[in-house]
Structure 1
Amino acid sequence: MTSAKDDEAFWNSSEKLCFRFDNNEVDQFGVSKTDIDKLLAGISNTSTAEASLKSAANYQPLKPMLSIISEKTLDCILAMDKLKNLHPETSGVQPDITLRKILLGQPYSLEQYKSLASKTALLDAAIISGDGNAILIIILFLTKTLKRSLVQKILAERLDAVNVYIRYLSIRLQINEITDILTMLGQSTDSAMKTLHIIIKNTRDPDRLLNKLRNCYKTQFSALADCKEAPFVQSYIKLLEWQTIAKVVDGNEEIELNSSVLDCLRHACKGHWDLPEGKLMSPTNLSQQYDVSPRQYQKVALEVRAAIKEWGDIDRLLLTKARFILRFCNLIKTNNINVLKILYKNSAPPEVLEKYLKYVDNIERRLELSKNMHCFRMAIDILVQQTDRIALTEYKMKLQPQSEEYFYAEGMLRMPAVKWKN
């Protein structure tokens, strides 16, 4: 039989001790305070994890992946991710890994790219990715670490990179750099047009604009024999000079600098109508200098003189050539100008309208226009000419009773000399 002493020795020496009466660090369930702390911490961590899972389950992505990054760039990143798994990153030069970090917005360093070959390899990798921001980052790195002539030589062989860099330089208004690159590529016309675009878009002061345009034409456009835009630039410079003189001569703000040719023509037709041909501010001189077509000149002049009720000027403008007026006043809108519509819009009196209504060949159309434009006497005369008593009677009933036109229609109905057809 085992003694009590042996039993006590067993309980005190067993490695699988679960309960000891003489251990103050063990509670009544055989778990130490340290273990309780660990257990509580585990419960707390479990609660936090469950809360995180619950939050993740309720999370809805705001945008699909391909709406944030292009499919081509995503494929490039995935391909480089495979390369990273096959070739873990080391301290050596690895363009694909560096580019992957740039595309993902991760920290990266370009200091290890010291040789020309490694730098061009990095640029080529960026071009293959098709990401403009990555291409620009590498180009700016090259401009800081290589000679300007060498950078231009590298870009000359990579037109995709050139386009990205030119766009960047345009935003920065670095015209000289743009000119050097495009000229080196044999694109002198593109260089001149790009310079012109930047100047016009970003210069607000009229005097500075005029000076810059003169210099641009002198240094770039004048040397381009086959450039179709060169005459345009020269005409634009002359127009700005005309506008500058107009503001000084007229002393008002009616004409704004950088206005169109037609706006300038309107200004000349309004304030300098009587100036003879050959004078700088003359409307005819302005239209000839800037190749304004005759029909466009007639339209602008007609609108301006009608707006200020100068009906005599309109007669001199339109009635000097009989053949022209026959075509000009045809209501099929010959030359895209409807004379009668312009006159009526500007409240021309009936006698002025009737003067031009008679040039409408189609009598039915002339009758319709006469009624619509309230040229009562002409409408009545046409109905009498058509010997249509019923139509004239109906028209008289629509006129204002006791008015002049009402009595005129009534008098025509009583004329015995008219042989009515109905």
Structure 2
Amino acid sequence: MDDDDYWNTSETKAKAFSFDDDVLSTQEILAIGQKRSSGQTEDSVFATTITNAKRNLVSLNSLVSPKVLDLIVLAQSGKDPNNTRPLDYDSTSITLKRLILGHTCSLHVHRSLKSKTELLDGAIVMGDGNAILAVVLFLIQTLNKKLVHELLSSRPIALNHYMSHLKSEGKINELTDLLTMLGRAPEAAMYQFEHIVKTQGNNIESLLRKLNNVLSNHFNQPGVDAHCNKMLVDYIKLLEWQKCANKSELHNKSPLACLTHCCQWHWHEGAGNMMSPLTLCQRQQITPLQYDWVVLNVHANSSKWDIVESLFTKKDWLGRTTLSSHIPIETLLCRLNDLNASKSMMATCVNKIQNNDERLRLAQKYKIHSVVIESLFKQKDRAALTNYKMTLSPQSEDYILADNTLRDPSIKWKN
């Protein structure tokens, strides 16, 4: 049979492929090429094929790629594939949908700057962090850095996602370069500082070397906050002190933790000695309030109350004992009570309070009986003093003091 006879047969006509026909269905495409057994009609072939496809759970995507299938459909439509854009493959909305759904898709079909910008803005509008990051990484691959930074500088959401990505990946140099180009040098300096401190561990020499480099390359640059600069300088001084102390338990400790160590083990060393508490305070600019608090807790916990009293109480020129502390009175009283300080020392602190009512309130709160009795005596409140005496242990020193005060005939009581 020659070619003309073959194409003119009715059997061949029934199977011919026509560009004018309707678009084939998925099942029809799957049925193409199936061999019909004897006795089967064409309809039964399709029915059998569909049944087998369902039974075997064969996916169309496993047989024909989506792009090839689009070209087949395009060919059936009678259009020229060379003059027609591939269906949906360069559509921003379709790309974003595939990104968000986690489907495989190529971003490289977006070649123009306009298309890439629309893709980035679309991802931001959709609010999907993974899609935003994927687009930003695509832009970094296909555009120069300056252009990418310009796009990100006007889109803070995308910028923050990219910065978080760089931090999580440990790409601190890229992060600091980005921030520097965006005019955010202080933030770049702080990221460098944080990264170095986290990664160097207990290696003080390496940490000192890298921090000095960061100080000169980042913190000493124009625009960096003076407070941040001072913070780093003080930290370097602390590390230098810890290096000289050469005690592993002090590595990476705070200034107050180092002061606690000095108060506990080097209390009697004079000013000027490296391990002296006063030398450390001066070097690290520890405030008097911080110094008093550390000294109080260190020596009180060691039951060295003679040191505590010598520091917090003074004798004036009349021989009276007065309080000398930078700690607020009520805070000091609370802490002394927790540390089981003596009542005489507690009384010295309470008597420092000028307001009579406030002094009486705190004396009653901490059961400093001598101060309560004296305060009620000054108020000439016999009824209150009588009631208070009844709360005291009979024949105790405070009970006798209250009783003798009530019996004093020289007192003119108001009630």
Residue 354 of structure 1: aligned partner = 347
Match of 1:310 in 2: 304
Q: How far, CA to CA, are the matches of 2:331 and 2:393 in structure 1?
A: 29
Q: Tell me which residue corresponds to 1:30.
A: none
Alignment of 1:282-297 (within 5 A): 282-297=276-291
Q: What is the letter of the counterpart of residue 107 of structure 1?
A: T
Which of the residues 150, 163, 167 maps onto 2:164? 167
Length-normalised TM-score, structure 2 = 0.64
Any conservation in 1 of the 2:314–2:323 contact (CA below 8 Å)?
no
Closer, same or farther in 2 for the Cα pair 1:420/1:154, shift >3 Å?
A: closer
Match of 1:373 in 2: 366
CA deviation after TM superposition for structure 1 residue 281, in Å: 2.8
**CA-to-partner distance for each residue in 1:141-192, whole Å, 9 max, x for gaps?**
4555x5xxx6312212212355443332221111222233333444333322
Matches within 5 A, 1:200-211: 200-201=197-198, 203-207=200-204, 209-211=207-209
Residue 349 (structure 1) shift: 1.2
Structure-1 residue corresponding to 2:395: 402
Residue in 2 aligned with 1:105?
102
Residue 392 of structure 1 corresponds to which residue in structure 2? 385
Q: Partner residue of 1:195?
A: 192
CA contact (8 A) 2:293 2:327 kept: no
Give deviations 1:24-76, integer Å, cap 9, x for gaps. Answer: xxxxxxxxxx99xx9xx99xx9xx9xxxxxxxxxxxxxxxxxxxxxxxxxxxx
Question: Partners of 1:421 and 1:107 in 2: how far apart?
Answer: 93
What displacement does 1:260 show? 3.4
Tell me the residue number matched to 1:124.
117
> 1:93, 1:112 within 8 Å by CA — same for their partners in 2?
yes
Contact 1:122–1:138 (CA under 8 A) maintained in structure 2 = no
In the aligned structure 2, how far is the partner of 1:379 from the partner of 1:337?
16
Distance 2:284 2:315 in 1: 24
Residue aligning to 1:219: 217
Distance in 2, matches of 1:313 and 1:192, equals 44
Distance 1:133 1:403, change over 3 A: same
Q: Deviations over 1:232-255 (max 9, x none)?
A: 112122233434555x34x6x4x5
**CA distance in structure 2 between the partners assigned to 1:364 and 1:162 by the alignment:** 59
CA distance in 1, matches of 2:379, 2:266: 46
Task: Give the Cα separation in 2 of the matches to 1:183 and 1:420.
Answer: 77
Structure 2 stretches of 5 or more lacking a match?
1-39, 55-83
SS state at 1:277 partner: coil
State the 4+ residue runs in structure 1 displaced beyond 6 angstroms.
Answer: 325-329
Which residue, out of 268, 288, 297, partners 1:274? 268
What whole-Å deviation, never above 9, does each CA across 1:198-227 have from its counterpart, x for those lacking one? 334555445354444333223322334653
Q: Residue deviations 1:247-280, cap 9 Å, x none? A: x34x6x4x5x444333333333333333333333
CA distance in 1: counterparts of 2:330 and 2:405, whole angstroms: 35
Cα distance change, pair 166–120 in 1 and its aligned pair in 2 (3 A): farther
What SS does structure 2 have at the residue aligned with 1:284? helix
Following superposition of structure 1 onto structure 2, how do residues 37-186 of structure 1 map, counting pairs within 5 Å?
89-90=86-87, 94-110=91-107, 112=109, 118=111, 120-129=113-122, 130=124, 131-141=128-138, 143=140, 151-159=144-152, 160=155, 162-186=159-183
- The TM-score, its normalising length taken from structure 1, stands at 0.63
Unaligned runs of at least 5 residues, structure 1: 1-33, 49-86
3-state secondary structure, aligned to 2:144: helix
Judging changes above 3 Å, is the alpha-carbon distance between structure 1 residues 337 and 245 closer, same or farther for their aligned structure 2 residues?
farther
1:339 aligns with 2:296: no
CA shift in 2, pair 1:121/1:326, >3 Å: farther
The alpha-carbon distance between structure 1 residues 358 and 95, as it changes in their structure 2 partners (threshold 3 A), is: closer
**Aligned-residue offset at 1:108:** 1.4
The structure-2 alpha-carbon separation of the partners of 1:96 and 1:312, relative to structure 1 and needing over 3 Å to count, comes to: same
Asked which structure has the greater CA Rg, the reply is: 1
Return the alpha-carbon distance in structure 2 between the equivalents of residues 191 and 384 of structure 1.
Answer: 66
| Identity rate, percent | 34
Say if 2:389 and 2:403, in contact at 8 Å, map to a contact too. yes
**CA distance in 2: counterparts of 1:365 and 1:92, whole angstroms:** 79
Distance 1:326 1:379 in 2: 18
Q: 1:273 to 1:119 in 2, by over 3 A?
A: farther
Pick closer, same or farther for the CA change 1:317–1:394 going to 2, 3 Å. Answer: same
Q: Name the aligned partner's letter for residue 234 of structure 1.
A: V
Q: CA deviation at 1:90?
A: 4.4
Checking the alignment, whether the CA contact within 8 Å between 2:196 and 2:211 is kept in structure 1 is: yes
Retained in 2: the 8 A contact 1:203–1:209? yes
CA drift of 1:398 comes to: 1.5
- SS of the residue aligned with 2:373? helix
Matches of 1:347 and 1:376, distance apart in 2? 16
| Residue 206 to residue 321, structure 1, CA distance change in 2 (3 Å) | farther
Deviation at 1:414, TM superposition (A): 4.3
Aligned residue number for residue 70 of structure 1: none
Q: Distance in 2 between matches of 1:270 and 1:389?
A: 48
CA distance change for structure 1 residues 384 and 236 in 2, over 3 Å: closer, same or farther? Answer: same
